[in-house]
């Protein structure tokens, strides 16, 4: 009789294991399986093959883009530095996410240099990234740094850093990234 119970238990365990695997596949693998690393401003944080240091962010409704342009929402310029650990590479994407889960990517149509740049192994470069967000999102923004493109078949990691966004009185400007001296951020 005890052997029957053992067989029943093994069968039940197999069914449960299959159900759990199916649930994991549905919820994570099939929709992008990633780990979220959490960091803070003013500190070096490592995610995948990148090292990231977020300095801060400023916001304004106006942007110096050849002419001064005005946003119906708000422009946000994030100041950050990053390097890799292995070879020259650029992150797949850097986005802002607000408290409601809305995602703001790199805006198009602006002449300002604002795209994520390539960085070298332990060769840090510092630059700015431009975003345009809804006015009500400014107070609760998190930067999400995505080293790789999401692939449903492979686990990956993203970095989230909550931003302290200060208001600027002047129109925002965006500059090209520059290589930093050793030890600088």
Q: Which residues bind other proteins (CB under 8 A)?
A: 3, 85-88, 118, 120-123, 125, 153, 179-183
Measured from the CB atom, the residue of 104 and 117 that comes closer to other proteins is 117
CB of 125 to other proteins, least distance (A): 8
Distances (CA, A) of 81 to 4, 6, 39, 42, 140: 63, 58, 14, 10, 21
Contacts of 66 (CB under 8 A, 6+ apart): 111
Q: Single out the residue of 117, 130, 108, 113 nearest to residue 62, CA to CA.
A: 130
Measured from the CB atom, the residue of 27 and 176 that comes closer to other proteins is 176
Residue 99 neighbours by CB distance under 10 Å: 11
Measured from the CB atom, the residue of 35 and 85 that comes closer to other proteins is 85
CB of 180 to other proteins, least distance (A): 6
CB of 77 to other proteins, least distance (A): 23
CB of 124 to other proteins, least distance (A): 9
Q: What is the DSSP letter of 119?
A: B
CA-based Rg of the chain, rounded to a whole angstrom? Answer: 22
* Distance, CA of 53 to chain centre: 12
Q: Single out the residue of 178, 181, 98, 180 nearest to residue 136, CA to CA.
A: 98
CB of 17 to other proteins, least distance (A): 16
Measured from the CB atom, the residue of 3 and 66 that comes closer to other proteins is 3
Measured from the CB atom, the residue of 32 and 120 that comes closer to other proteins is 120
């Amino acid at each position: 009789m005890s052997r029957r119970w053992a067989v029943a238990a093994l069968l039940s365990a197999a069914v449960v294991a299959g159900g759990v695997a199916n649930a994991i596949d549905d919820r994570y693998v099939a929709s992008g399986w990633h780990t979220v690393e959490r960091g803070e401003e003013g500190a070096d944080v490592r995610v995948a093959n990148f090292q990231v240091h977020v300095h801060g962010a400023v916001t304004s409704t106006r942007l110096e883009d050849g002419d001064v342009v005005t946003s119906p929402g708000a422009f946000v310029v994030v100041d950050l530095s990053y390097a890799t650990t292995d070879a020259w590479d650029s992150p797949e994407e850097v986005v802002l996410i607000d408290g409601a889960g809305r995602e703001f990517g790199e805006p198009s149509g602006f002449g300002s240099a604002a795209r994520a740049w390539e960085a070298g192994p332990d060769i840090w470069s510092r630059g700015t990234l431009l975003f345009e967000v809804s006015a009500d999102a400014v107070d609760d923004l998190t930067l999400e740094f995505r080293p790789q493109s999401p692939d449903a078949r492979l686990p990956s990691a993203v970095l989230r850093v909550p931003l302290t966004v200060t208001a600027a009185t002047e129109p925002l400007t965006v500059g090209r990234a520059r290589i930093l001296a050793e030890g600088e951020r």
